[in-house]
Chains A and B, each alone.
Chain A
Amino acid sequence: MAESPKEKNLASAQIAASEESSIIDQTPSSGGFSMPETPHSQESPQGAASPDVLRTRVFSADDLRRAHTRIAHEIVERNKGADDVVLVGMHSRGPAIAERLATAIKSFEGIAVPVGTLDATFYRDDIGMRPVHPAGPTHVPVDITGRVVVLVDDVLFTGRTIRAALDALTELGRPRCVQLAVLVDRGGRELPIRADYVGRNLPTRLAEDVRVRLLETDDVDEDTIELWGPPEALGDDE
């Protein structure tokens, strides 16, 4: 999801503006994994003078529930059943989303789809460029060789995290095919990668920030997905 800055003098602003840096920042520390506090991981590069403001509420809790149900149906339809499917959630919010999809599939298909977790940190292409720590363990309970792996993540942006995840998957086996399910596709791809299942397409600008908050992973009372951005950008492209 995170971008690799093309220009070094913009690196700080670009990194801080990416949705991934904010996601990692706000991951609860209860998991024991943490990210060091550095200027690079600050959420608002524009400084305290112009904090980001809420621009759009992308999903309410109900919207999100419906999106999960639809994506679950699409996965089963596309693969003509769910027998070979393995859902693999990408840290930090993917595992929770994958569990929800598995629950939905179980409810209408009666099949318990295996759910795994994946951390692609050690396979990234921006190692050494910014502070990165693994967000959780990699654990896939079944052999993925010959099966259909559906990678699950919250937001698809540059595609670099997915590229790293494909490398990480290769180490675990040789799936028959790999598909990608995301709640939000915010555009901005830097690699030839696309999602097979999308909750919502949401074209965004670089300075904007898609904030995902889930019951399982964030200290919130209800699920929300919101688009935040600097105030001066308001109205520019809406």
Chain B
Amino acid sequence: MKHLLSVDDLSRADVDDVLDLAASFLAVTKRDIPKVPALRGKTIVSLFFEDSTRTRLSFETAAKRMSADVMTFSVATSSVKKGEGLRDTVGTISAMGIDAVVVRHSSAGAPQRITEWIDASIINAGDGRHEHPTQALLDAFTITQHRGRDLSGLKVGIIGDVRNSRVAHSDAKLLTALGAHVTLIAPPTLLPESVESWGATASLDLDSVLPELDVVMTLRVQHERDAQSRFPSLREFTQRYGLTIERAARMRPDALVMHPGPMNRGVEIAGAVADGASSVIDEQVTNGVAVRMAVLWKILGSGGDVV
């Protein structure tokens, strides 16, 4: 595997590999010395054109725990502010001699474009509304940790601002490929034009679907895109689509509550539910490091494509 741009790049065997490897790396991260020399001498650049807390820290932690060198590129303090274009920025970084670039960009397809310009491996850490493949892998890993590798028949609900969510897009495709049945639940204005290509079904009525769900995944309302103009008020959104305490009481007792973060407590999910017994939100963050270690290993370490 040279790049990871989309969950479509992953065969079933690749996904199984990543999930197996993530289990190995999760054990590594829990040791007294949570570090292995696996990627010593490799240089990884984190290139984030969009704000991020957990994804960026997660990737950088993953790289450091594998002894790779990490260069952090932050748009706020870079020549991008002086008007440098994406191609020149990437070319400059590439000329310094690097092995992989972790890219987040507000334009769908930006990571794909970068693969055409430089030789390094490109890992998509979120591109516009398109894809966020490592989030999908860590969500799949978290679910399989609780429910086993075979997800056939598992009912997953992805709730809220589906339209703007690259996480929903990647998760729906990957979890469906693993056998789960994914339902996207949102007001009509926050559903994408077409959900068939996602392999999922859509619903407008959370209350009718909720009691059957094995996994309840809530999404943040993305004000920075155009979400807020697509429904009358946040209060009404919360009333109909928020995972409130009252709604959470009607979930299956063994349902898992997930959220890719960052959360707006009191909007799409009540604080008490996010911190409740069903929540695996903290596990998602912990697992994120292990899954990204697995992805970095698969791309830079395992030598699967080096001939």
Contact = CB atoms under 8 A, between A and B. Distances in A.
Given A32-B20, A123-B36, A131 B28 contact: no
Interface stretch (A49-57, A78-86, A132-140, A229-237): A132-140
Given A36-B13, A128-B301, A138-B27, A123 B20 contact: no
Contacts of A128: 300-303, 306
A171 interface: yes
A134 B300 CA distance: 15
Interface in A140-181: 167-168, 171-172
A10 interface: no
A65 B115 CA distance: 56
A133 B17 contact: yes
A156 to B, nearest CB: 22
A123 B35 CA distance: 10
B140 to A, nearest CB: 15
Interface string B16-57: 110011011001100111011111000000000000000000
A15 B38 CA distance: 20
A129 B303 contact: yes
Interface residues of A, number: 26
Contact of B31 (A32, A123, A131, A171): A171
A127 B33 CA distance: 21
A41 to B, nearest CB: 10
Nearest to A164: B37
Nearest to B40: A127
Nearest to A129: B303
A172 B31 contact: yes
Contacts of A134: 20-21, 24
B302 A133 contact: yes
Nearest to B23: A137
B32 to A, nearest CB: 8
Contacts of B20: 32-34, 133-134
B306 A137 contact: no
A129 B36 contact: no
Given A128-B301, A130-B303, A131-B302, A119 B36 contact: no
Contact of A137 (B13, B24, B149, B297): B24
Interface in A74-125: 119, 121-123
Contacts of A123: 36-38
A121 B27 CA distance: 14
A38 interface: yes
A185 to B, nearest CB: 27
B304 interface: yes
A122 B21 contact: no
A129 B27 contact: no
Contacts of B32: 171-172
B88 to A, nearest CB: 30
Given A32-B20, A34-B20, A122 B36 contact: yes
B28 A132 contact: no
Given A34-B17, A132-B301, 12 more contacts: A36-B304, A119-B24, A121-B38, A122-B38, A128-B302, A128-B306, A130-B303, A131-B302, A133-B17, A133-B302, A134-B20, A172-B31
23 contacts: A32-B20, A36-B13, A38-B307, A121-B38, A122-B28, A122-B38, A122-B297, A123-B38, A128-B301, A128-B303, A128-B306, A129-B306, A131-B302, A131-B303, A132-B303, A134-B20, A134-B21, A137-B23, A137-B24, A138-B28, A139-B27, A168-B36, A171-B35
Interface of A: 32-34, 36, 38-40, 119, 121-123, 127-134, 137-139, 167-168, 171-172
Interface of B: 13, 16-17, 20-21, 23-24, 27-28, 31-33, 35-39, 66, 149, 297, 300-304, 306-307
